[in-house]
Amino acid sequence: MVYITRIEKFNAAHKLWVEQWSEEENQARFGKCSNKNWHGHNYYLHVTVKGEPDPITGFIVNVKDLSVVIKKSVVDHLDHSNLNLDVPFIPKGMQPTTENLVKVIWGQLVGPVAELGGQLHKLTLWETDSIYAEYYGE
């Protein structure tokens, strides 16, 4: 079993804000992340697929095909978006934390990666150069 990873990027705005809470409660819990006027990040997404390299091509999946799938299923929706408002597959009211985003992105990728003939193994999502979340699908 070998693991192959492709990294893609997107830039997006978001805020952390619980509707049922007052502004003070949001500020107390989320600090500057609750700024009503949003802030944003350059995100890096690592998509790891496992399998046996094909004996002819040496590919688990063709990384260029994988890149196309990630762009179509994830990056085209998230890049230059507002993660709270713009993305159909992000549930309204879900906080767009790195932890939650990585789970939502998994749902977008697991099917298309399987269609490529690979098995989605792990996602890593970097929000800044000092914060990242990892998810293995369960």
Concatenating the DSSP letter of every residue in 86-127 gives S-TTSPTT----HHHHHHHHHHHHHHHHHHTT-EEEEEEEEE
CB within 8 A of 65, min separation 6: which ones?
A: 116
Residue whose structure tokens are 């040496």: 58
Q: Tell me which of 74, 77, 81, 90 binds a second copy, using CB under 8 A.
A: 81
Residue 22 found at the interface with a second copy (CB under 8 A) = no
Residue 59 found at the interface with a second copy (CB under 8 A) = yes
Work out how close the CB of 59 gets to a second copy at its nearest, in angstroms, rounded to a whole number: 6
DSSP 3-state assignment of 10?
strand
Give me 62's structure tokens: 């063709």
Work out how close the CB of 114 gets to a second copy at its nearest, in angstroms, rounded to a whole number: 18
Residue 110 found at the interface with a second copy (CB under 8 A) = no
Residue 102 found at the interface with a second copy (CB under 8 A) = yes
Residue 57 found at the interface with a second copy (CB under 8 A) = yes
Q: Give the containing element (helix H, strand E) for 30.
A: helix 23-30
Specify the residue, 89 or 136, whose C-beta has the smaller distance to a second copy: 136
Q: What are phi and psi of 124, to 5 degrees?
A: -125, 130
Work out how close the CB of 1 gets to a second copy at its nearest, in angstroms, rounded to a whole number: 7
Q: Tell me which of 35, 71, 117, 119 binds a second copy, using CB under 8 A.
A: 35
Residue 130 found at the interface with a second copy (CB under 8 A) = yes
Residue 136 found at the interface with a second copy (CB under 8 A) = yes
